Structures are given as C-alpha cells and as structure tokens.
C-alpha cells in the first residue's frame, strides 16, 4: 500500500458548506455492487450481482445548529477530509439515511449513513 496511514483527524463538510464533527467511527462501502452465489438444483452455482449505493457510516457530534433532522433532510454532496492521511472522500448526489441515536453522556450520534451514486477518493 502506497499510503499505509489510517485514522487521524477527519472533517465532514456538507455541500452547503456546513461542517459536522466526526466522532470515532467511519466506515465506507466502496463498491457499487454486491456479489453472491446461489446453488442451482443440478449442483452448479449461479452468480448474482446486485447494484447498490456507495455508503459512508459514521458517528457524529451534532453541534453548531446542525440537527439530525437537518441531516436527514439534506440531499446533495458531502466531503470527508482525512488530514493525517491526506485523503479526501467525495460522495456525490446522495442523502443521509438511518435512525439516529444520541448518547447524552458522550454527545455521540450514531445510526446515520450517507448513501450516494458516486464515490471517489482523491
């Protein structure tokens, strides 16, 4: 791997310029397809390829006037910048999905994902 750094400081920026603090978890489904096999009755197998959205699952700290309702109503683009790895994740033409939950002891909001039709890392 050319750049084996992972983690570090990350910032989520909505397409309208608002920034949201990220808290600890960030996972990406980087493929636009899933692939499974099914067994045929004659003993052979069939490959089943299904399209899906790109997806980013993350934990956030909602502050600065951004609520979970704001995120669920947001449609557009988001950018996630990893400052330590110098990677930028671009999710285009998407929307937030999920069932948000906030831990009032830590301020951490989980249960949200961003799904989009286009994903690039630069």
What pLDDT score was predicted for residue 1? 47
DSSP symbols for the chain: ---------EEEEETTS-EEEEEEEEEEE--SEEEEEEE-TTS-EEEEEEE--EEEEEEEE--TT--HHHHHH-EEEEEEEETTTTEEEEEEEEEEEEEEEEETTTTEEEEEEEEEEEEEE-
* Confidence check: pLDDT of 100 > 60: yes
Which residues lie below 8 Å from residue 15, measured CB to CB, with a gap of 6+? 74, 76, 77, 78
Model confidence pLDDT, tens digit, residues 52-90: 999 999 999 987 789 999 999 999 999 999 988 889 999
What's the pTM value of the predicted model, to 2 decimals?
A: 0.85
CATH number of 10-121: 2.40.30
- Residue-range domain boundaries for the chain: 10-121
Tokens of 52: 């899906």
Distance of CA 6 to the CA centre of its chain: 16
């Amino acid at each position: 791997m050319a750049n084996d750094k992972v983690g570090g400081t990350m910032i989520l920026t909505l397409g309208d310029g608002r920034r949201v603090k990220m808290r600890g978890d960030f996972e990406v489904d980087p493929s636009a397809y899933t692939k499974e096999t099914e067994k045929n009755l004659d003993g052979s197998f069939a490959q089943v390829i299904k399209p899906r959205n790109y997806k980013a699952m993350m934990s956030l700290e909602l502050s600065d006037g951004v609520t979970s309702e704001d995120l669920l109503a947001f449609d557009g683009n988001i950018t996630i910048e990893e400052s330590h790895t110098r990677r930028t994740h671009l999710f285009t033409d998407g929307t937030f999905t999920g069932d948000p939950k906030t831990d009032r002891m830590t301020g951490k909001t989980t249960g949200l994902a961003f799904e989009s039709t286009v994903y690039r890392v630069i």
